[in-house]
Amino acid sequence: MDVVGLAALAYVPFLLSSPGRVSIDTKQYLYLDPGRLLARAPYLWDPHVGFGTVPHQGIGYLFPMGPYYWLMEAVGVPDWVAQRLWLGTISLAAALGARWLFLMLGTGRAGALAGTLVYMLTPYQLAYTARFSVLLLAWAGLPWLVAFTMRAVREGGWRDPALFALVVLSVGSVNASSLVFVLIAPALWLVMAACGGRAAASATVGAAARIAVLSAGVSVWWVVGLRMQGAYGLPVLQLTESLRTAARSSSPTDLLRGIGNWIFYGRDAVGFSIDQASDYLHDGLVVFASFAIPVLALATAGVLRWRHRAYFAVLVVVGTVIGVGAWPYDNPSPYGALFKAFNDTAAGLALRNTARVVPLIVLGLAGLLAAGVTALRSRRHELVAAAVVGALTLAALIPVWRVGYLSRHLDRPNDIPSYWKDATAALQRDGDAARVLEVPGINFSAYRWGNTVEPVTPGLIDRPFVAREVLPAGTPASVNILEALDHRLQEGTFEPSSLAAYARLVDVGTIVLRSDLEYERFNTPRPRLLWSQLTEPLAPGLDAPELFGEALPNRPSPSLPMLDNVELRTAVDAQDPPPVALFGVTDAVPIVHTAPSAQPVLIAGDGEGIVDAAAAGLIDGNQLVLESVADRLGELRDTYSTTLDENAADEYAAAFERAALRRHPRVRL
């Protein structure tokens, strides 16, 4: 199989997978409006989301993923085709890199083909093709990094270190931990090469220095962004998956199969998120083939005579040891206990997803099999052995040949519904003086028409937008006040009378009610019930809604009928809402404004107290509202000593001191 054959194997299966459907891969805004995403990416403060936020690794989309999708849109390529070409290109880059590496190390063409297939068709990619393909860039770049490192040591000069740095530039910008894990492989080669004597050590140190300088130079642009996010943004690492979650699936046997990733076995109410996952647990042929590949490779390592055998064996061993991490979490080995302790540091938390080291294991196994096939020294035997390895590799991907690379629970149509386009156009029409609040909140934006993970609205408008999602954006205080409203919506304790005052207080001019959510998936509010709360009668302080889309029944999946006490107490004749409705806020307060400092409202509490005060009519959203905070008593006394008499100022300070609670920065002060 030559390069043309590898290209066909890379692109054709992706193009045949779910034609016309767009996976939720990486960032939906790459497909909705890549130009808008690129325009925001260079900035380390994003005022458009979460009351303003320091974006997490958003700058990384400046290259290569953002420009690629911008170009595809500019030339009119359908989103789903552009996505499949992107995925196919990653797969082809991984294959060509592995093939070149193996041929450079002296394997025969049949052996190189066998190793290439093992690396290219690894199940490792299935955890990411439908969801986080940007993380596969490190997998695609690994064999190139190793090959350029080898040549840099052997030939000297700056050419190969520069090529190494270009690969780092292309694969490392969005997720630092994936890059760190694959850089272990060239680092191991440098260490082993330095052990070859004084001359070898000198050449190795020189090559390593050139590689380090150039790679650091091309990475400064995104490293600075990551550093700023860590210093001034929300603690994203602490707010996402825990070490316990990450270690749940990192068993050594699964790592050797190319899996070991908690994402791969992830589930929600509708089942496995990744369609192919079940087969790796229950399909006998798939299980056999996926185990046979590492068993055959390790057996080959035991009898193989090849100068590079030690290096590829070390890749397998080191990769497996690192990948296991804290598994099993509740009864770890001494190494696992040490890793759990390491997780308490910032670096340890960043590297908790140890399964991202699996490309090292796969490359090690592929290299051993490539050399093993070549060692047979008989053309016929080489071809037979290569065919056996290829057959096992293909068998290990039977789930892909059955259902494709993507997953039906993680995609949407190529074009989003027209009513969403019309609704976002209406939001744009009203200008950006005030924010947009979208309700109800949802963990991941699974609409009845498809899953996007992220809400589509902020990708289509320039107005500041806020909605409760599983990963919060903004500041701790802004997240607090958003959660205070949304959990009332989720729990059925929401009081419509609070909404307009709340909206004015947080500078919201339009409230978007999304009623086309797949609400049973994450147990969010029932559309008919929430619609009736807002419209029967119309919630005070809101304008009559502007409706988008036809009001059709939004019924749950038969597998999750949601026939419970909430549904049973909903009136039989309750009206079905339109998919999207926009409620203007009467006398909305713009983001940039002033508020009178005389007679402020003091609340001994946080966002919860603010929502309750709004429901009770104690605030209407136009006053200056202060939350109590003990460490600002002196500042508050000085501020109000000019507008209040001494006794009143003392009373304010005493009230704050008694409460000793924190201030909410979204509330004007």
Q: Using one digit for the tens of pLDDT, what is the confidence trace for 209-225?
A: 999 999 999 999 999 99
> Residue 565's pLDDT is what?
86
Q: Is 254 helix (H, G, I), strand (E, B) or coil?
A: helix
Nearby residues of 344 by Cβ (< 8 Å), 6 or more positions away: none
Distance from C-alpha of 479 to C-alpha of 463, rounded to nearest angstrom: 19
What is the per-residue pLDDT for 650?
56
Phi-psi region of 112 (alpha: psi -120 to 50; beta: other; left: phi over 0): alpha
Is pLDDT above 70 for 9? yes
Contacting residues for 284 by C-beta, under 8 A, at least 6 apart: none
Which residues neighbour 85 within 8 Å (Cβ) at sequence distance 6 or greater? 11, 14, 72, 77
Q: Which of 504, 501, 536 is nearest to 612 (CA)?
A: 501
CA distances (Å), origin 290, targets 49, 96, 124, 126, 355: 43, 22, 11, 13, 17
What are the structure tokens assigned to 193, written together? 């090469």
The span from the CA of 576 to the CA of 516, in Å, is: 11
pLDDT attached to residue 646: 53
Calculate what percentage of the chain has a pLDDT beyond 70. 94
Q: Is the pLDDT of residue 668 over 70?
A: no
Note the pLDDT of residue 167.
97
The pLDDT of residue 637 is 54
Rounded Cα–Cα distance for residues 667 and 669 (Å):
6
In degrees and rounded to multiples of 5, residue 470 shows phi and psi of -70, -35
Average pLDDT over residues 631-636: 52
Report phi then psi at 594, rounded to 5: -120, 165
DSSP 8-state symbol, 53? B
Residues 575, 531: contact at Cβ < 8 Å? Answer: yes
Residues 104-119, mean pLDDT to the nearest whole number? 96
| Rounded distance between C-alpha atoms, residue 447 and residue 579, angstroms | 10
Decide if pLDDT at 247 tops 60.
yes
Beta strands in 392-514 (DSSP E): 411-413, 435-439, 445-447, 450-453, 465-466, 508-514
Strands 435-439 and 411-413: unpaired
Q: Using CA atoms in the order 643, 644, 646, 649, what is the torsion angle rounded to 10 degrees?
A: -110
- What is the per-residue pLDDT across 574-595, written as a single tens digit (0 to 9) for each? 999 999 999 999 999 999 998 8
Question: pLDDT digit string (tens) for 639-654?
Answer: 555 444 555 555 545 5
Closest Cα to residue 453, out of 279, 244, 263?
A: 263
What's the pLDDT score for residue 110? 95
CA 443 to chain centre: 13
Residue 471 pLDDT: 87
For residue 591, give the nearest of 461, 477, 437 by alpha carbon. 437
Which 3 state secondary structure label does DSSP give 462? Answer: coil
For the stretch 296-304, contacts whose Cβ atoms lie closer than 8 Å and that sit 24 or more positions apart, written own/partner, are: 296/369, 296/372, 296/389, 296/392, 297/118, 297/364, 297/365, 297/366, 297/368, 297/369, 297/372, 298/365, 298/368, 300/368, 300/369, 300/371, 300/372, 301/368, 304/368, 304/371, 304/372, 304/375
Segment 236-253 mean pLDDT: 89
**Token pair for residue 365?**
């196994």
Residue 293's pLDDT is 97
Say yes or no to pLDDT of 602 above 50: yes
CA 284: distance to chain centroid? 32
Banded model confidence at residue 663, pLDDT cuts 50, 70, 90 = very low
List phi, psi (to 5°) of 416: -75, 160
pLDDT at 2: 82
Q: What are the tokens at 260?
A: 């070991």
Report how far residue 656's alpha carbon sits from residue 600's, in angstroms, rounded to the nearest whole number: 13
Q: How far is 200 from 145, CA to CA, in rounded Å?
A: 19
- Tens of pLDDT, residue by residue over 292-332, are 999 999 999 999 999 999 999 999 999 999 999 999 999 98
> How far apart (Å, rounded) are the C-alpha atoms in residues 473 and 475?
7
What angle is formed at CA 242 by the lines to CA 334 and CA 139, rounded to 5 degrees? 85
- The confidence score (pLDDT) of residue 313 equals 97
- % of the chain residues with pLDDT over 90: 74
Tens-digit pLDDT profile for residues 465-518: 999 998 899 988 899 999 999 999 999 999 999 999 999 999 999 999 999 999
Question: Is a pLDDT exceeding 60 seen at residue 666?
Answer: no
Find out whether 261 and 127 touch, Cβ atoms under 8 Å. Answer: yes
Residue 604: count of CB within 10 angstroms of its CB: 14
What is the average pLDDT score of the chain?
A: 91
Contact predicate 84/14, CB 8 Å = yes
CA atoms of 624 and 622, how far apart (whole Å): 7
- For residue range 124-163, what is the model confidence (pLDDT) as tens digits? 999 999 889 999 999 999 999 999 999 999 999 999 999 9
- Assign 3-class secondary structure to 369-400: HHHHHHCCCCHHHHHHHHHHHHHHHHHHCHHH
Q: What does the pLDDT look like over 556-571, one tens digit per residue?
A: 988 888 888 888 888 8
Residues 500-519 as b or e (16 or more Cβ within 10 Å = b) = bbbbbbbbbbbbbbbbbbbb
- The predicted pLDDT at position 669 comes to 30
SS3 category, 178: helix
Length of the chain: 669
pLDDT score recorded for residue 603: 84
Q: How far is the C-alpha of 626 from the C-alpha of 606, rounded, in Å?
A: 10
pLDDT tens for 384-428 read 999 999 999 999 999 999 999 999 889 999 999 999 999 999 999
